[in-house]
Amino acid sequence: MEIFNHNSNIPFLGMRKYSIAIAVCLMIASIALIATKGLNYGLDFTGGVSMVVDYNQPVQVSEVRAALTKGGLDNAVVQSLGGTREVSIRMQPKDDKGMKQTASGKVNLDKISSDVLGMLRAARPDATLKSRDYVGSEVGAELKSDGTIAALFVMLGIMAYLWIRFERRFAIAAVATEVHDVLVTLGIIALVQREFDMTVLASVLAVIGYSINDKVVVFDRIRELFRLARKAEPEEILNRSINNTLSRTIITSLFTSITMGAMYFIGGPVVRGFAVTMLIGILVGTLSSIFVASPILLWLGVSKKDLMPVTRDNPELARRP
């Protein structure tokens, strides 16, 4: 199945000055947005109140969420705990006027749990408080640092893999575009002030893995064409590789986007952040695979001799830089 002709010759590399300029501008704008507006960190990173409520009869998560919204608590995170009678409720004290911290800065956990239970019992009298706890901001700070370290390790691992499988220029180009994809995705999240919680962090890491998949397909085709071609220029090889893999790239992105769209509309509020971030990352990653990765390779000076296998009959290739 092909959307575009396998042998089409769209001049993607001819647009490299514009595509790289746009990519750099998007990165700068994303950094500025993250620095000025910041990410809208959720309860996982900022701390807050966590409660477990039990019901005598089965209850829907949407029913619990509606009861809290009716009581004035709009931003609570409600999740089922593996059954139909027990739910987890997480919230920040600032989410409701009646749930702010005391003058000393401490959270009045008794009042918060009592108010929440009152909202729930107004809709369902069989609600019972099973446990309650307050998560401090120190835990959230640790999660932020751990998430950053995880993303760095993923990128370093990708760089090492591509360095071994292809060549160092491919590794550098891949990591450069991965940084672009992550920054632009985070910049859009900061722009719209979408809540940034653990599910969104997980989707950012997934975006890194998804994005590199497209680039590896293009890189593999570049290596193959370099070895088959005799006198073709690097720009021609890179451009032909993008065109050859264009249908595969678009189809993969399209069907993954359909899956994420279904997750957004059917999966419920808990996974919407993951789905939205993946949709943004898929779009950004697909465009960078087409318009950014190969121009960086060309700028780094990739050539046929960099990809030819080293043999005893080719001593010059063994000494290539």
Residue 25's pLDDT band, with cuts at 50, 70 and 90, is very high
> Does the structure show a pLDDT above 50 at 142?
yes
Q: What angle do CA 142, 272, 139 make, to 5 degrees?
A: 10
Per-residue pLDDT tens over the stretch 219-245: 888 888 888 877 778 888 889 989 988
**Torsion over CA: 116, 120, 126, 130 (sign):** negative
Question: Across residues 86-98, what is the average pLDDT?
Answer: 69
What domains does the chain contain, in order, with CATH numbers? 13-40+140-318 (1.20.1640.10), 48-135 (3.30.70.3400)
The residue among 186, 117, 119, 120 whose CA lies nearest residue 151 is 186
> Does the structure show a pLDDT above 60 at 98?
no
Highest mean pLDDT pick, 47-56, 73-82, 175-184: 175-184
The pLDDT value recorded for residue 139 is 67
Q: How far apart are CA 59 and CA 120, in angstroms?
A: 11
> Does the structure show a pLDDT above 70 at 5?
no
| 129 or 140, greater pLDDT | 129
> Does the structure show a pLDDT above 50 at 307?
yes
Helices 293-300 & 16-36 angle (0-180, nearest 10): 110
Q: How far apart are CA 206 and CA 278, in angstroms?
A: 8
The pLDDT value recorded for residue 321 is 44
> Does the structure show a pLDDT above 70 at 1?
no
| Residue 52: burial class (beta carbons within 10 Å; 0-12, 13-18, 19+) | middle
> Does the structure show a pLDDT above 90 at 109?
no
Per-residue pLDDT tens over the stretch 31-60: 999 999 888 887 777 778 888 899 988 888
Q: How far apart are CA 157 and CA 176, in angstroms?
A: 14
The residue among 239, 218, 211, 208 whose CA lies nearest residue 170 is 218
E runs forming strands in the chain: 40-41, 48-55, 77-80, 86-91, 127-135, 195-196
Q: How far apart are CA 44 and CA 307, in angstroms?
A: 46
Q: How far apart are CA 302 and CA 239, in angstroms?
A: 13
Residue 182's pLDDT band, with cuts at 50, 70 and 90, is very high
